[in-house]
Structure 1
Amino acid sequence: MIDVYSWATPNGHKIHIMLEEVGLEYKAIPIDIGAGDQFTPEFLAISPNNKIPAIIDSDGPDGKPLALFESGAILLYLAEKTGKFLPQDPVGRYTTMQWLMFQMGGVGPMLGQAHHFRIYAPEKIEYAVNRYSNEARRLYGVMDKRLGVTRFLAGNDYSIADIATFPWTRSWKNQGIELDEFPNVKRWFETIAARPAVVRGVEVLASARKDLTGDKQREVLFGAQQYARR
């Protein structure tokens, strides 16, 4: 059994989708990030960076429990545990890891900033909105060019690189993107969105999700509580 400490966000959905795809038994434990659940000592013991998702696999290596945080590390672990969505041949493996790192270092952080300054920031800063909206378009352009050559990001087979990236593209409207401008991304997006495991994965904890644009939620997510030393 894998306990998944998570919330219905792009990073959380990466792991929900992966677990649905590989068919491992799991339990989703909600961490309400707008209420500050991520700062409890119990959660920090698993995820010291106070971010979701995190997991505890009761049947880890050598049959011993393993706790992991960071969505990219969790995806790699689950891929290796099940032998799925990460090629074994060196070229395929490193190509997949390359596009996974592209998501972890670029797509997630930059689209997250686009969300912040376009939706969550208490004041609209034109420079910041333009900076991250333009970067979002640039990243979609990179993906569109790649997906004009291959069916999926790492090649012609679906992989953890796609599982990591797809949840972030679900909010393309919030990023100032018109998906029709990126036809290869649109084709890729629609292909993945139709997968039964993806349909199930994006519904995990979705009913518990709450608005995060209120003053209280902003203070928890972006105020002094977030930056307190622990």
Structure 2
Amino acid sequence: MSHGKHFTLYSHTGGPNPWKVVFLLKELGLDYEPVYLDFQKGEHKAPGYLKVNPNGRVPALIDHKNNDFTIWESGAILLYLVDKYDTEKKYTSTNETEKYQVIQWLFFQVSGQGPYFGQAAWFQVFHPEKIPSAIERYQNEVKRVLGVLESVLSKQEWLAAGKFTIADLAFVPWNNGISFLLGPDFNFEKEFPFTYKWHQKVLEVPGVKAGLAEKDRLAAAK
């Protein structure tokens, strides 16, 4: 099969994780064809998609210029893209120590921020009954994760390698939902000023900005 685009990206219009991949693809100037799965129709659990990603989640990426190599899990996709297509290592580092510091923060995002923020959203919105203790637990975890970021960003401008990397980029989609997760009384800028300042800088990165604009257009078209 002939593909006009370099990649096919299985995504979701609202879900946060695929947009990390979009940000990096746009930064690297790589073209892709998005396929937005309809979770209400169970498209992410359909047999055809489970052949792409047996976990039945998004994102998943197919690289048509690398023998249709398929990779899923957002953190793994980001690492694949920088290893194969970021030839100057602009979004990671050529220095081994710095490279692993970038990976360290990326792992913290995918294992720490994503799951806890996701559970906070689940118990506030999607769970069939309101469980105040669960909501409180995960809201506290959101604040704990922000506290970890604050402890480091109060001393340095970026998370690793002294520059913007995939580590910084990966935190954007979930951090964009903080006011929703923690409610109208939470003041991000006041409570975590260094993390807030860093987040605002990452939002201005061209690929991030373009990706979020695309996400907004999709939301407006619904």
Q: Report the TM-score when normalising by structure 1.
A: 0.85
Q: Does 1:178 align with 2:183?
A: no
Deviation track 1:7-35 (CA, whole Å, cap 9, x = no partner) reads: 13210110111111111111111112232
Q: Does 1:28 align with 2:28?
A: no
Fraction of identical pairs, as percent: 35
Question: Which residue does the alignment assign to 2:10?
Answer: 5
Displacement of 1:156 after TM fit? 2.1
Question: Which residue does the alignment assign to 2:3?
Answer: none
Aligned residue type for 2:77: I
SS at match of 1:153: coil
Q: 1:199 aligns with which of 195, 201, 209?
A: 209
Q: 1:102 aligns with which of 81, 103, 108?
A: 108
Deviation track 1:105-146 (CA, whole Å, cap 9, x = no partner) reads: 100000000111122222110110010000110110110111
| 1-structure distance, mates of 2:97, 2:32 | 31
SS at match of 1:4: strand
Structure 2 residues without counterparts, runs of 5 or longer? 1-5
Q: How does 1:111-122 map to 2 (within 5 A)?
A: 111-122=117-128
Task: Give 4+ residue runs of structure 1 displaced > 3 Å after superposition.
Answer: 203-210
Q: Are the counterparts in 2 of residues 30 and 205 from structure 1 also a CA contact under 8 Å?
A: no
Q: Are the counterparts in 2 of residues 85 and 158 from structure 1 also a CA contact under 8 Å?
A: yes
Q: 2:74 aligns with which of 71, 76, 83?
A: 71
Displacement of 1:209 after TM fit? 4.8
Q: 2:83 aligns with which of 74, 80, 84?
A: 80
Question: Which residue does the alignment assign to 1:157?
Answer: 163
| 2-structure distance, mates of 1:91, 1:81 | 19
Aligned residues: 207
| 2-structure distance, mates of 1:54, 1:87 | 25
Displacement of 1:65 after TM fit? 1.8
Q: Are the counterparts in 2 of residues 7 and 205 from structure 1 also a CA contact under 8 Å?
A: no
| 2-structure distance, mates of 1:103, 1:56 | 23
Instruction: Flag the 1:149–1:34 CA change in 2: closer, same or farther, 3 A.
Output: farther
Q: Which stretch shifts more, 39-48 or 132-141?
A: 39-48
Aligned residue type for 1:203: A
| 2-structure distance, mates of 1:101, 1:31 | 25
| Higher RCO (C-alpha under 8 Å, 6+ residues apart) | 1
Displacement of 1:42 after TM fit? 1.6
